[in-house]
Amino acid sequence: MKKLLVAAAAIAISASFAFKKKGDIEVDLDVINRIKTEGFNNSRVMETLWEMTELNGPRLTGSAGMKKAEAWAKAKLESWGLANAAIEPWGTFGKGWETSKCYVAMATPYYQQMIAVPKAWTPGTNGLIKAETYLVKVEEEEDLAQYKGKLNGRIAVLLTSTPGGNKAGFNPDAKRLTDEELSHMGDDPHLNDEPAPVMKGRSDKKKLNARELRAKINTLLREEGAIAVLSGRRGTMGTLFTSNGASYKMDAEPVLPELELGAEHMDRLVRLLDAGKEVKVEMELNNTFSTTDSLEYNVVAEIPGTDKNLKAELVMLGGHMDSWHGATGVTDNGTGTAVMMEAVRILKALDLKPRRTIRVILWSGEEQGLLGSRGYAKNHFGDLEKKEFKPEMELVSAYYNLDNGAGKIRGIYLQGNDMAMPYFQQWFAPFESLGAQTVTIRNTGGTDHLSFDAYGIPGFQFIQDPLEYGTRTHHTNMDTYERAIPADLMQASVIVASLVYHTAMLDEKLPRKPIKK
């Protein structure tokens, strides 16, 4: 058994048993070799991803698909021998929403079926409707008045920004991070010699933020008698970015049925209407709501610790299992969830004996604002706003999160935790040949690690190759199984398993930052 031992003043090779001397940062090369062998030669990560996404389908929070996936995940983790598997409630959410039919086509001046996805939490059409369309262009509140008396019985084609961005592109959709980019990511953010940005002036006209403006548009459309809405966001070549068209809350304001169109089809409608041509559209949506405020859940399972003095402490890892509804949510965040599940499968398959308990959690409600992880943190760690904390908060050594697409791991964000830097520099060293070596003090946002970071618990998100995440898959109708690269997910699973194991074997917990105000 070979172990690489790094002390504060020197680097030495030790053949003694690992994790004995406080202050040492140790890398167990023998265990890493075993993890790599299991993770690359006997991987189950693609099988897990396929079952989660292809068999369970979309997993919008509050939907039947999400409930089905939660039951599947619990059973899968139990089948691998993890203990204390549970579907644990974190709190109430709001209305569940399902879509079971979506059809839309241009009927006049000629027939053309269109690419579209219904906006979440919008109603259906109560059967097939066919109506004339009317172009509604609104960038500022002052634009609304011109549409009074013009929308009754019509389908509104809604533009809230200037079209025309759907042109031929000459940059690849997918990319990997270059050595130069990774080098700059490793720089301390305080090292900044860039000139201050020039601030541009704003229009004298009253500006509303997008949410406020859209609420006023919705009111206008309903009051003027429009019967449905067609809208569009960014995307090209049939890729469209899905979202919600109304709140999931029980007391949400009513809205009209709404579809998001592929950019090419949306732009065609706009061109025809701008040219003064009559355009009729037929559509049928079957969307349904639950009538009660739904209780929502996270899936939890553990590999129990074995050290009598440390087994009550926790090393946690996770990713969110909920998705949007336009596809099967593979890269957001089926891949992250499958990798975290694979990491604990590897550790369990090798029958490793972590000193601390390793707890994996699969979140729901992330897409609506980290609701599952925030609910878990409040239930287990206490009320952050009131500064009323529970003992379990002090038991967590670290939380590791994966939620930036399907790309392999290239490093880790430390969220400003300078004290953690020496640990990760040593723990990532054996993975330089796998392309993972960047340890940056920088922060990153938008994922469930923030729910832990807020409590001062070391919460980390990994740096990943972007691949097609920002161009083709993030919240789109193209977020499907084909977008996952097996070698990338195997690499990520191996690295996560190693970091979790080494964190669980330390004499001490990872150092903490102060709790944020």
- How do residues 262-277 score in pLDDT, each as one tens digit? 999 999 999 999 999 9
> Closest Cα to residue 278, out of 105, 128, 135?
135
Q: List the structure tokens of 301.
A: 């399972």
Distance between CA atoms of residues 276 and 268, nearest Å: 13
Superfamily of domain 19-93+294-505 in the CATH hierarchy? Zn peptidases (3.40.630.10)
H-helix segments, 198-334? 210-223, 263-274
Alpha-helical regions (H) of 307-418: 335-349, 371-381
Residue 340 has pLDDT above 90, yes or no: yes
Q: What is the pLDDT of residue 12?
A: 34
Per-domain residue ranges of the chain: 19-93+294-505, 97-187+207-289
- For 411, the token pair is 């490093």
290 confidence band (pLDDT: 50, 70, 90): very high
CA distances from 184 to 402, 438, 440, 463 (A): 21, 10, 9, 13
Residue pLDDT, tens place only, 191-201: 765 554 544 44
**What is the token pair recorded at 412?**
């880790």
Q: Which residue has the tokens 């996952």?
A: 484
The gap from C-alpha 398 to its chain's centroid, in whole angstroms, comes to: 20
Q: In the structure, what pLDDT confidence band is assigned to residue 20 with cuts at 50, 70 and 90?
A: very low
Say how far apart CA 317 and CA 314 lie, in whole Å. Answer: 10
Among 120, 75, 39, 78, which residue's Cα sits nearest to residue 322?
120
CATH no. of 97-187+207-289: 3.50.30.30
Maximum distance among all alpha carbons in the chain?
Answer: 83
Among 163-177, 232-246, 363-377, the minimum mean pLDDT is found in 163-177
Global pTM?
0.92
Where on the phi/psi map is residue 304: left (φ > 0), alpha (ψ -120 to 50), or beta? beta
Q: Which residue has tokens 């409600």?
A: 365
pLDDT-based confidence at 515, cuts 50/70/90?
confident
Distance CA 62, CA 168 (A): 38
Which tokens belong to 85?
A: 């598997």
Contact of 109 with 242, CB cutoff 8 Å = no
